[in-house]
């Protein structure tokens, strides 16, 4: 069986070969951790964004949208805390000259202990069969207890070091537990230093006195600075939310794992403004709503889990991640944060403007509290691709590579395939396509055998192939072939619109969220 690492490599190659994701400026050998989305990738990405956007603004009448500029006044980032506190602790290995995030090295170390423990549990489960009691085993087995104690010890020190921003202690943990550089294999480390992740550039010509501005590291601040604009012009009453989709930029120290950690990426964020004191109720509400959004995609409920933060960001009083099981383990796809009144209060202070809301029901003014949901488009894209990529062994011994992308998100919904390139079949196929194209992104393909064409469509995740044959000219019926089951059915051309429409309607997903 192929390892998860092999599958991940294949997925990256597949993404490129089939026009989903290309390395940026590849003819110049690429740019580290920057990627371009190809003809199929951009369709999938747009569909993900539509699914998120509509789930926010259609299903919640008190959520509206916004599209703020990427460039913002530089004081924004002083107020938000990013100038002073948006840092990662970095450490270099003096032999390999490789740079790492100290916190990630320690997280990897913790994951190794988890792996060791889980392997012991798995082995024992196999050995004892039905009579195996995992809780008893975990609390009595010597090797498990030894590893668990060590893990807890490291974890305790790690959390404290993060909360105290204690860089010396982070280095001490790396040294005490003999973490080695994966490249050089040595423990020859530099000190741990803080590194600010924001990119900056100059606005205006130097003659005028250019201003240093930042590329936004999150879209959220565009929402905060527009809180009163939207509230007043939209006559919004608390609780209400503002959502936005847009690019964000971070000078990640260690960019790896394909589109998981990029330097330019896209976020879908919502800030939900609530009465002070009601934030925990809304935190729970949005946790549940967002998890349902993910699960409605049908990639497998067991692939998701919540992970509460060990270290709360400077603005948060509660925070959890929705993690997805990627080929390289459970990883954060979305963050849900209770941001208190930190951002609005801080903007009030730095701008000198009143950013309070007058609550007519309470007859008082206050700075609202905020629940944020923040999901990465690219990580969602990766999770969908990873869960959808399958290599199936067919009965005839052939292997079929298929992307079982949820039909509603598939880049191309239907491929129209004339059986042969003559006898009027291409014309009939074009006629069908011209009818369907108003509602669905369709593809047309007349080259190669029908089997090869099916495989090409499987590889890009097209849920329906429609074959036009000689009988079609007589009975106005076509063969529809379903990607996942490979089953074929003869249907009337007149019914195609409804058959496809029913299966790719986003309403089906929305009903799973709020039905």
Task: Name every residue whose Cβ is closer than 8 Å to that of residue 445 and which is 6 or more positions away in sequence.
Answer: 415, 416, 417, 453, 456, 457
In order, the DSSP letters of 384-420 are HHHHHEEEEE-TTS-EEEEE---GGG-S-SEEEEESS
Based on the shown chain and the rule CB under 6 A, indicate whether residue 107 belongs to the binding site for ligand GAP: no
Cα distance between residue 372 and residue 276, in whole Å: 14
Q: Which is nearer to ligand GAP, 261 or 483 (CB)?
A: 261
Based on the shown chain and the rule CB under 6 A, indicate whether residue 76 belongs to the binding site for ligand GAP: no
Only segment of 200-208, 362-370, 373-381, 470-478 that touches ligand GAP (CB under 6 A): 373-381
Q: According to CB under 6 A, which one of 161, 220, 223, 316 is a site residue for ligand GAP?
A: 220
35's tokens: 């990627």
Based on the shown chain and the rule CB under 6 A, indicate whether residue 378 belongs to the binding site for ligand GAP: yes
Based on the shown chain and the rule CB under 6 A, indicate whether residue 250 belongs to the binding site for ligand GAP: yes
Q: What's the closest the beta carbon of residue 377 comes to ligand GAP, in angstroms?
A: 8
Exposed e or buried b for every residue in 386-405, given b needs 16+ CB within 10 A? Answer: bbbbeeeeeeeeeeeebbbb
Q: According to CB under 6 A, which one of 54, 169, 284, 332 is a site residue for ligand GAP?
A: 332
Q: According to CB under 6 A, which one of 43, 88, 103, 269 is a site residue for ligand GAP?
A: 269
Beta strands 414-418; 442-444: pairing state: parallel
Q: Binding string, 275-314, against ligand GAP, x = CB under 6 A?
A: ----------------------------------------
Q: According to CB under 6 A, which one of 82, 157, 216, 261 is a site residue for ligand GAP?
A: 261
Based on the shown chain and the rule CB under 6 A, indicate whether residue 246 belongs to the binding site for ligand GAP: no
Q: According to CB under 6 A, which one of 43, 88, 103, 218 is a site residue for ligand GAP?
A: 218
Cα distance between residue 274 and residue 271, in whole Å: 10
Nearest Cα residue to 369 out of 341, 336, 338: 341
Q: What's the closest the beta carbon of residue 217 comes to ligand GAP, in angstroms?
A: 7
Asked whether the beta carbons of 474 and 444 are under 8 A apart, the reply is: no
Q: According to CB under 6 A, which one of 76, 267, 373, 479 is a site residue for ligand GAP?
A: 267
Residue nearest ligand GAP (C-beta atom):
376
Based on the shown chain and the rule CB under 6 A, indicate whether residue 379 belongs to the binding site for ligand GAP: yes
Q: Which is nearer to ligand GAP, 256 or 281 (CB)?
A: 256
163's tokens: 């909360």
Only segment of 49-57, 131-139, 261-269, 463-471 that touches ligand GAP (CB under 6 A): 261-269
Q: According to CB under 6 A, which one of 376, 443, 461, 463 is a site residue for ligand GAP?
A: 376
Based on the shown chain and the rule CB under 6 A, indicate whether residue 90 belongs to the binding site for ligand GAP: no
Q: Which is nearer to ligand GAP, 261 or 481 (CB)?
A: 261
Asked whether the beta carbons of 317 and 336 are under 8 A apart, the reply is: no
Asked whether the beta carbons of 477 and 488 are under 8 A apart, the reply is: no
Based on the shown chain and the rule CB under 6 A, indicate whether residue 388 belongs to the binding site for ligand GAP: no
Q: What's the closest the beta carbon of residue 266 comes to ligand GAP, in angstroms?
A: 8
CA distances to 2, 91, 101, 191 from 194, rounded to whole Å, are 39, 9, 10, 10
75's tokens: 């004081």
Based on the shown chain and the rule CB under 6 A, indicate whether residue 252 belongs to the binding site for ligand GAP: yes
In order, the DSSP letters of 441-498 are -EEE--SS-HHHHHHHHHHHT-SEEEEE-HHHHHH-EEEEEETTT--EEEEEHHHHHH
Interaction site with ligand GAP (CB under 6 A): 218, 220, 250, 252, 261-262, 265, 267, 269, 332-335, 372, 374-376, 378-379
């Amino acid at each position: 069986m192929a390892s998860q690492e092999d599958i991940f490599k294949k997925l990256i190659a597949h993404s490129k070969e089939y026009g989903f994701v290309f390395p940026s400026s590849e003819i110049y050998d690429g740019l580290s951790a920057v990627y371009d989305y190809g003809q199929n990738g951009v369709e999938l990405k747009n569909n993900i964004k539509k699914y998120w956007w509509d789930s926010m603004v259609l299903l919640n009448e008190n959520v509206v949208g916004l599209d703020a500029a990427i460039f913002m006044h530089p004081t924004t980032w002083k107020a938000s805390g990013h100038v002073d506190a948006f840092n990662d602790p970095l450490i270099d290995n003096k032999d390999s000259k490789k740079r790492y995030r100290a916190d990630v090295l320690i997280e990897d170390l913790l994951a190794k202990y988890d792996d060791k423990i889980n392997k012991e549990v798995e082995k024992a489960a196999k050995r004892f069969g039905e009579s195996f009691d995992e809780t008893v085993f975990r609390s009595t087995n010597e090797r498990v207890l030894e590893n668990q104690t060590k893990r807890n010890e490291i974890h305790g020190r790690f959390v404290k070091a993060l909360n105290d921003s204690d860089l010396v202690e982070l280095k001490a943990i790396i040294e005490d537990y003999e973490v080695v550089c994966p490249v050089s294999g040595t423990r020859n480390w530099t000190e741990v230093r803080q590194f600010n992740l924001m990119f900056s550039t100059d606005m205006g010509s130097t003659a005028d006195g250019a201003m240093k501005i930042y590329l936004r590291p999150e879209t959220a601040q565009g929402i905060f600075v527009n809180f009163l604009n939207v509230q007043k012009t939209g006559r919004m009453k608390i609780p209400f939310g503002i959502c936005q989709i847009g690019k964000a930029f971070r000078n990640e120290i260690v960019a790896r794992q394909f589109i998981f950690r990029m330097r330019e990426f896209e976020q879908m964020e919502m800030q939900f403004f609530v009465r002070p004191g009601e934030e925990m109720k809304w935190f729970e509400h949005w946790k549940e709503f967002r998890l349902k959004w993910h699960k409605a995609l049908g990639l497998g409920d067991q692939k998701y889990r919540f992970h509460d933060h060990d270290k709360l960001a400077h603005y948060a009083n509660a925070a959890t991640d929705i993690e997805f099981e990627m080929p390289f383990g459970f990883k954060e796809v979305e963050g849900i944060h209770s941001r208190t009144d930190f951002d609005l209060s801080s903007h009030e202070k730095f701008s000198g403007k009143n950013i309070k809301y007058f609550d007519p029901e309470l007859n008082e003014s206050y700075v609202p509290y905020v629940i944020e949901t923040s999901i990465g488009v690219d990580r969602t894209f990766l999770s969908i691709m990873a869960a959808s990529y399958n290599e199936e062994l067919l009965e005839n011994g052939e292997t079929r590579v298929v992307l079982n992308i949820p039909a509603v998100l598939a880049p191309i919904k239907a491929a129209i395939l004339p059986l042969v390139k003559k006898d009027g079949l291409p014309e009939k196929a074009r006629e069908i396509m011209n009818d369907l194209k108003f509602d669905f992104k369709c593809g047309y393909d007349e080259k190669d055998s029908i089997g090869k064409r099916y495989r090409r469509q499987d590889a890009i995740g097209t849920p329906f192939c429609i074959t036009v044959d000689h009988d079609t000219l007589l009975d106005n019926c076509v063969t529809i072939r379903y990607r996942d089951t490979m089953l074929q059915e003869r249907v009337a051309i007149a019914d195609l619109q409804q058959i496809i429409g029913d299966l790719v309607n986003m309403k089906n997903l929305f009903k799973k969220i709020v039905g």
